[in-house]
Amino acid sequence: MKIAVVGAGAMGSLFGALLTEAGLDVWLLDIWEPHISTMKQKGLSVQREAQTRVVKVNATTDPSQIGMVDLVIVFVKSYHTASAAKTARELAGPRGVVLTLQNGMGNTDIIAQAIEPRRIIAGTTSHGATLIGPGSILHAGIGPTTIGMWADSDQTQANKIAAIFNKAGIKTEVVEDVRSVLWTKLLINIGINAITALTGIKNGQILDLNVTKELCRRAVEEGMAVAEAQGIKVRDDMVEQVFRVAGATASNRSSMGQDVDRKRQTEIQAINGFVVREGEKLGINTPINHTLTALIETLQAHY
Ligand code: KPL
């Protein structure tokens, strides 16, 4: 199977490395020239628990070098999804499938404007990765990956991808109701990302003070109200689940925290901002998420 990973940030590079090590024909595509040229010259350096290995990956800034692939994995930041979807359409040709494992909501609908929805697989992953610098990542945490067809009840294609991922050591499960999986991940990001990004703390430090936990709880509960109004089934212990993830990823700096640290645009509009917009459509007030969104927007506009 030939695979292209569009967006070779920390997570895209990690998946590219794991799939390459499993013997698949994988290409990493990104616009960040220093990262691509370092990987081309020296390979990708992957740090995991005090050990570093170098993976010889195919990397390019030019999609025409890749040719047609069977699977495109979209890993760009959510605000680049529209242009990544056009690239994915070219790479996938008439038969390839497109998998998005991006953070935030709305990515799949954007991809569906470029590719037939029945060729789209959506999902989430709990692997944690940090980009250390050009050609170098830290594999900070291992967790499950969950995928499902976006608009097809026949899960054959998703099962095929899951089998390949599992062989590559990426523990993957296929589910029928991928929308509630995306919402669960969204609610986790709603509770953790903006708070850690604004305060400079690591994920686990959300649990240190009652006042921070309470802020996290209220942000998540607003999101749950919107999900429920949309008919999405979310687990009753969602807030406790967010606390568990904060504990399990205690030493991680959230992806939004990493974006703010590097003075990069964040995915706030696809996370807390998404809940604010959806809440407005449904007449549900989301003051905590509104405030978190406004603060992040202000911060990133004044880097
Ligand atoms: O998905 C994440 C992120 O940082 O975007 C969590 C689960 C919060 C891990 O850091």
Domain(s) labelled CATH 1.10.1040.10 in the chain stretch across 179-301
CA 83 – CA 114 distance, rounded (Å): 10
State if residue 254 touches ligand 1 by the CB under 6 angstroms criterion: yes
Q: How far is the CA of 259 from the centre of ligand 1 (A)?
A: 12
Closest CA to 193 of 171, 170, 223, 172: 223
Q: Which residue has the tokens 């991809």?
A: 111
By most ligand atoms within 8 Å of CB, the mutation choice from 188, 202, 256 for ligand 1 is 188
Q: What average pLDDT does the chain have? A: 96
State if residue 20 touches ligand 1 by the CB under 6 angstroms criterion: no
CA 110 – CA 115 distance, rounded (Å): 9
State if residue 203 touches ligand 1 by the CB under 6 angstroms criterion: yes
Catalytic site includes residue 185: yes
Percent with pLDDT over 70 in the chain:
100
pLDDT for residue 31 is more than 90: yes
For residues 48-73, one letter each, b for 16 or more C-beta atoms within 10 angstroms of the residue's C-beta and e for the rest, the string is: eeeeeeebebbbbbebeebeebbbbb
Classify 47 as helix, strand or coil. strand
Residues 133-178: pLDDT tens digits?
Answer: 999 999 988 889 999 999 988 999 999 999 999 999 999 999 999 9
From the centroid of its chain, how far is CA 238? 19
Q: How far is the CA of 188 from the centre of ligand 1 (A)?
A: 8
- HEC string of 91-105 equals HHCCCCEEEECCCCC
Interstrand relation of 44-48 and 136-141 (parallel, antiparallel or unpaired): parallel
Domain(s) labelled CATH 3.40.50.720 in the chain stretch across 2-176
CA 36 – CA 83 distance, rounded (Å): 19
The CATH superfamily assigned to 2-176 is: NAD(P)-binding Rossmann-like Domain (3.40.50.720)
Q: How far is the CA of 83 from the centre of ligand 1 (A)?
A: 24
State if residue 188 touches ligand 1 by the CB under 6 angstroms criterion: yes
pLDDT for residue 9 is more than 90: yes
Percent with pLDDT over 90 in the chain:
94
Which CATH class for the 179-301 domain? mainly alpha
Amino acid in position 217 = R
Closest CA to 265 of 299, 219, 294, 295: 299
State if residue 103 touches ligand 1 by the CB under 6 angstroms criterion: yes
| Closest protein CA for atom 10 of ligand 1 | 254
Residues 71-126: pLDDT tens digits?
Answer: 999 999 999 999 999 999 999 999 999 999 999 999 999 999 999 999 999 999 98
Q: How far is the CA of 193 from the centre of ligand 1 (A)?
A: 7
pLDDT at position 54: 98
